[in-house]
Amino acid sequence: MTTEPPVPAETNVGPATRASERASAPRRRGWGAFLRDVLVIVVIAILVSFLVKTFVVRSFYIPSGSMENTLLIKDRILVDEITPRFTGYERGDVVVFRDPGGWLPATTTPARPFVIEAVDWALSLVGLSAPDSDDHLIKRIIGLPGDHVVCCNAIGQLTVNGVPIDETGYLKLSPGASAPAVVPFDVTVPADSLWVLGDNRDSSRDSRYNQDQPNKGFVPISNVVGRAFLITWPLSRFGAIDFQHPVFAGVPAAK
């Protein structure tokens, strides 16, 4: 009679042991898959947030009082980057833009610990921090390309294409004043540029005060980040930013 080969050692393992191994193996694979999925989700979330911040919506804070009382110092705002690319800008829009050159004083930023810089950089990727706010300005559009903007008529009003503009609804005036201090100008806005002024006009270094700079006080549209549309912080001021479009409703198109 032929002798049967010995049974392999692993087949001698009892049913309870094999069941235990089968239960533990998927659990080990499950934890690895779980961690991998979490990592993928985090990476995708960061990537999507970065793309949204870069191309759709961006966060800034207000470092000065030049737009009071529409915007206050330390207000945090959202800026729409994508819509103006398709619809363009309108008179009255509040816009954030990079310094065209010479508008902001030269400053040096004190060195910060590496950890703080790294955290600030990471938060900026997802729009929770706005470290470059001090390198940008925010003003209201008064003149579009081709507009003839003049300061001022007999009662201190601007005129755009010959039409006086009643800005009393949003200007912050000095105590006892009925109009901002007169800073005379007579300009025609060149193509692909804007003429912008602050709502707190007596405390705003805007287009009027930069006519001696290379861009003659005009802001190239290519420098505009986008249109500010929402105050997000503090919560007591949460709400839409008023573009004051009706103020300019009677202004004819530029010739």
Which residues are annotated as catalytic?
66, 139
- Residue 11: Cβ within 10 Å count: 8
| Calpha distance 61→134 (Å, rounded) | 9
Judge residue 164's burial from the number of C-beta atoms within 10 Å of its C-beta, 0-12 exposed, 13-18 middle, 19 or more buried: middle
Handedness of CA 178, 147, 244, 97 (dihedral sign): negative
User: Which residues are paired to 188 by β-bridges?
Assistant: 148
Residue type, 157: Q
The verdict on whether omega for the bond into residue 151 sits within 30 degrees of 0, i.e. cis, is no
Tokens of 49: 């947030």
| Calpha distance 97→173 (Å, rounded) | 24
| Calpha distance 143→194 (Å, rounded) | 6
Q: Angle at the Cα of 76 (from 169 to 209), degrees rounded to 5? A: 55
Q: Are strands 148-151 and 158-160 parallel, antiparallel or unpaired?
A: antiparallel
